Structure 1
Amino acid sequence: MPALYAPITIMLLGLIFRGVAFEFRWKTKRGQFLWDWAFAGGSTIAAFAQGVALGALVQGIPVVGRAYSGGWWDWLTPFSLLTGLALVIGYALLGATWLIWKTENHVQRRAYDIAFWVAPATLVLIGLVSAWTPFLNAVYMQKWFSWPHVLLAIPIPALVLVAAFILLKGLTERREASPFLASLSLFVLCFIGLGISFYPHIVPNSVTIWDAAAPDNSLAFLLVGAVVLVPIILAYTAYSYWVFRGKVNAVGGYH
């Protein structure tokens, strides 16, 4: 965790600033545009810092004796900056396609305009990050291109191409649901690819899943809580999506 203190702290500050801006923009009319910019800025900073932290994790964190052995600025590299930018653009795509699905009229048209720009940018950035990642670590190179590991890895780029085709086709044909579902699929596929690259490590080349695991008693206690809470959370989430399944109209209601 000390390796990522800086980006995580920046991310939390961005989230706090966003929350404050979201609250105060309703308290003023004259300065509302300032709080709008503050909300957008806090969101962008939080997303960028999250991407930087992810990039720093992917490139590897040196650990000696279960303690971080790197420097304060190891997280700040060209690769982590690229992943930060990629996550900002990717989140913009998710937001735009969600608005396409859930809104209409001028808001939906504006979301289409944004999606037409950020969709190709997201695909290009996915390609750049994917092309760079194997050269960060020999283990990644082996898991992506050596036999039989390639059998697990090769479906991911194929499915990414399918999702990209559905995304661009959906935007071109002005479809509403398929662009969001395709964008969501891109994120899921990227994280599956990340999981294939990491396993069995939770911190690449330093800490395995088993090294990081809590004692069996603690895990058993958490399992009991998860068995009870996860179904409740899933049911509540499904119910929320069902209740708000329609489109937002001009006065903020659903239909």
Structure 2
Amino acid sequence: MDYALIWYGLIGLAVLIYVILDGFDLGIGILFPSAHTGSERDLMMNSIAPVWDGNETWLVLGGGGLFAVFPLAYSVVMPALYAPLILMLLGLILRGVSFEYRFRTKRGQFLWDSAFFLGSLTATVMQGIMLGALLQGIRVEGRSYAGGWFDWLSPFSVFCGLALVCAYVLLGACWLIIKLPDDLVSRYYVIARRWGVALVVCIACVSVWLPLSNPLVAARWFNMPNSALFFVIPLIALVCIVCLFRALVVHKAVRAYLWGIALFIVSALGFAVSTFPYLVPFAFTFREAAAPDSSLSFLFAGAAILLPLIIAYSAYSYWVFRGKLKHGEGYH
């Protein structure tokens, strides 16, 4: 078995699942100030209260898996991204504390509302910046990071941070349409369409910007026979975009949410095509960064047991708390 390739796929899958699942609740945090009343904010928070911490399991799996399975990549990527990573974790901690304290106070509730928004926004922007920094490449000499403290901060990485905000807000609005009472959802259809347009513009800009700034990516996409095969991906993305907006126009909430997820998956596939087989773009391939096969096989045996359990309890949580919320109802 090619354990290095299997783990490359598993780590990528864990990160993608995290982005999809934690994306909508981070998006709801960013949308928090747009709520008209305190009771609406209560419903927004209660729509994700049963599942938000379980969603972050996939972040732990992705980060911990990278350390255990691809230690060379971990030792290079972490120094390159220490600053945005620490800010992301602080944002996640801030919003996690907000869940616990917001419902315990009335006089200071506005402070925890602000903390929930700022934590969600910070975590989202930092995740996008880290993605942009990875896509633009990391400077490596030998087997060590050779860049500076602020190499992660560039116009491209900042734009990726803004793009991820658009993406998460779209998912968050679609989730609220599914979960909130019917008398509150009409405004979120409008929000979803507006931020969906912004996301499409961002995807188009990144799709042009990345190959123009990196000749390796340009060669991957614009040389035959690769072009004939890979240009199926933009066509699929176009189908997802059309179906997403059609679902939003005809008020099909679940369908819109699923097409939004499909657009995430297609975008991730585009990033994979741009960087494969590099795990640290464009310095180390996943084979060069992998631990010995004996370690990979041992870890895979554990993952084969734990991953189905994680998927099962996550699916069960969503099933138990399915359906729309009612006014005055909550899980706190």
Pick one of 182, 194, 199 that aligns with 2:276. Answer: 199
In the superposition, the TM-score normalised over structure 1's length comes to 0.95
The residue number in structure 1 matching 2:173 is 96
Which residue type is aligned with residue 219 of structure 2?
Answer: Q
SS at match of 2:287: helix
Pick one of 242, 250, 256 that aligns with 1:165. Answer: 242
Q: CA deviation at 1:253?
A: 6.3
SS at match of 2:126: helix
Measured in 1, the distance between the counterparts of 2:241 and 2:329 equals 32
SS at match of 1:247: coil
Change (3 A) 1:237 1:152: farther
Pick one of 257, 267, 276 that aligns with 1:180. Answer: 257
Measured in 2, the distance between the counterparts of 1:10 and 1:234 equals 28
Q: CA RMSD in A?
A: 1.5
Following superposition, which runs of at least 4 residues in structure 1 exceed 3 angstroms of deviation? none
Measured in 1, the distance between the counterparts of 2:257 and 2:295 equals 38
Measured in 2, the distance between the counterparts of 1:150 and 1:45 equals 37
Identity fraction in percent: 50
Measured in 1, the distance between the counterparts of 2:116 and 2:88 equals 13
Q: CA deviation at 1:205?
A: 1.9
Q: Which has the higher contact order (CA 8 A, sep 6+)?
A: 2
Does 2:203 match 1:126?
Answer: yes
Once the two structures are overlaid, the 10-residue window that deviates more, 195-204 or 52-61, is 195-204
Structure 1 portions without partners, runs of 5+: none
State the Cα deviation string for residues 72-128 of structure 1 (Å, max 9, x = none).
111100000000000011101011011112222233223223212211011111111
Change (3 A) 1:194 1:25: same
Q: CA deviation at 1:160?
A: 0.9
Measured in 1, the distance between the counterparts of 2:105 and 2:321 equals 28
Which residue type is aligned with residue 192 of structure 1?
Answer: L
Measured in 1, the distance between the counterparts of 2:227 and 2:306 equals 37
Once the two structures are overlaid, the 10-residue window that deviates more, 99-108 or 202-211, is 99-108
Measured in 2, the distance between the counterparts of 1:205 and 1:184 equals 27
8 Å Cα contact 1:99/1:107 also seen in 2: no
Which residue type is aligned with residue 191 of structure 1?
Answer: A
Q: How does 1:37-48 map to 2 (within 5 A)?
A: 37-48=114-125
Does 2:129 match 1:52?
Answer: yes
The residue number in structure 2 matching 1:247 is 324
SS at match of 2:279: strand
SS at match of 2:316: helix
Structure 2 portions without partners, runs of 5+: 1-77
